Structure 1
Amino acid sequence: MTESLPPLPPDVADLLRAVDAPPRLVAHLALVHEAAEEIADFCAREGLAFDREAVRYGAAIHDIGKVLHPEELSGPGSLHEAAGHRLLLSRGVPEYLARFARSHASWGAPGVTVEELLVSLADKAWKNKRVQDLEDRVVDLLAAGGRERWEAFLALDDLLTRIGEDAPRRLAVQAAHPVRTG
């Protein structure tokens, strides 16, 4: 029996059905969304100002371009990023939300937003991948609110460690879903 997936926002679930997203992609998006919720809860408690709904939506759709590039569901590739952005725009998704499909892997680019950093962090944390430069950027944001940098670092490290401890379960849940529809 396959473990049930964490819920996605209803509008995202409808969109994924409309584009016939493969079960593996839906599982991945739900699991990253779950990690993003934990990160957003933490950041909100820390007093970080950000658009929580944008982070929730961004985490839930960031890889939607893999509908058009299904080979990237089981292998490397970045063609899904621009393709996902175009797909979302063609479906009437506003740019400020569609951007996550394009930007989730380019968190080091100039002008990256807090929301993009948090979606990128969730996309790594769900599977216990730690990326120091990305984490440092988030620590800097947390410390800008008046907390000592070392305190912000330890708090974020504790959170990411907790999220990472559940990575084997998340990876198994994702793997239980087929790459192809039907």
Structure 2
Amino acid sequence: MHHALTDPGDPPLRPLPDEVCDLLTALDAPPRLAAHLRAVHDVAWSLTAALSPHLPFDRAAVLYGAATHDIGKTVHVNELSGPGSAHERAGHELLLQRGVGPALARFARTHASWTLPDITIEDLLVSVADKIWKGKRVVDLEQKVVDHLVRATDQEPWQAFLTLDDVLSGLAANADDRLAFQARHPAA
């Protein structure tokens, strides 16, 4: 797992926060999970940097959420390479047990539940990062972010869409490199 946390990648990926690296090490996380969390965290870094001039949100929370959203896959390792949502609740509980506050632990539970009525812009941005890291575009999810942009900036909806689309198109361009980075690290 050390290699997944320190391999620079090509193009280089930002490192995870030290406390997340320590948590992954303590949990003996699979290397592929560490690589995945780095890729999503790196995308979230770029996404939040691009949107912060246009949209108010808690950037630190989004980055932490991106870095830990799949932590429950340390418990449900089979969901690293197959379908399943048991890791969402397990990750939330695991983070709470490890002393992470509810405001940050929630991302493990909400990253795939972006249709809930009480979802925040921070939850949406973690969800977008978890999709776009591999080049996946989800129209309904992106529309929710566009709606936030419209309210925050008074832009016309088409302008807000173009703002987001430009950012996501740029991030999707390196998806193959991130997928290759993740695949270089074993799931067990």
Normalising by the residue count of structure 2, what TM-score does the alignment of the two structures yield? 0.92
Distance 1:125 1:16 in 2: 23
- Which residue does 1:110 correspond to in 2? 117
Matched, 1:43 2:23: no
My pick for the range that moved more, 14-23 or 55-64, is: 14-23
Matched, 1:141 2:148: yes
- Which residue does 2:88 correspond to in 1? 81
Give a deviation string over 1:113-133, Cα, whole Å, max 9, x none.
110000000000100110000
- Which residue does 1:91 correspond to in 2? 98
Distance 2:68 2:181 in 1: 18
| Amino acid in the other structure paired with 2:163 | A
How many aligned residue pairs are there? Answer: 179
Runs of 4+ in 1 over 6 A off after TM superposition: none
| Amino acid in the other structure paired with 1:7 | P
What are structure 1's unaligned runs of at least 5 residues?
A: none
Distance 2:184 2:63 in 1: 24
Q: 2:60 aligns with which of 40, 47, 53?
A: 53
What are structure 2's unaligned runs of at least 5 residues?
A: none
Give a deviation string over 1:37-88, Cα, whole Å, max 9, x none.
1111111121x11111100100000000000000000111101000000100
My pick for the range that moved more, 11-20 or 53-62, is: 11-20
Distance 1:21 1:94 in 2: 21
Q: 1:23 aligns with which of 11, 24, 31?
A: 31
Aligned residues: CA RMSD: 1.3
Alpha-carbon distance, 1:172 to partner: 0.3
- Look up the SS of the partner of 2:52 in the other structure: helix
- Which residue does 1:150 correspond to in 2? 158
The percent of aligned pairs where both chains have the same amino acid is 58
Give a deviation string over 1:3-45, Cα, whole Å, max 9, x none.
5253001111111111111110000000000110111111112
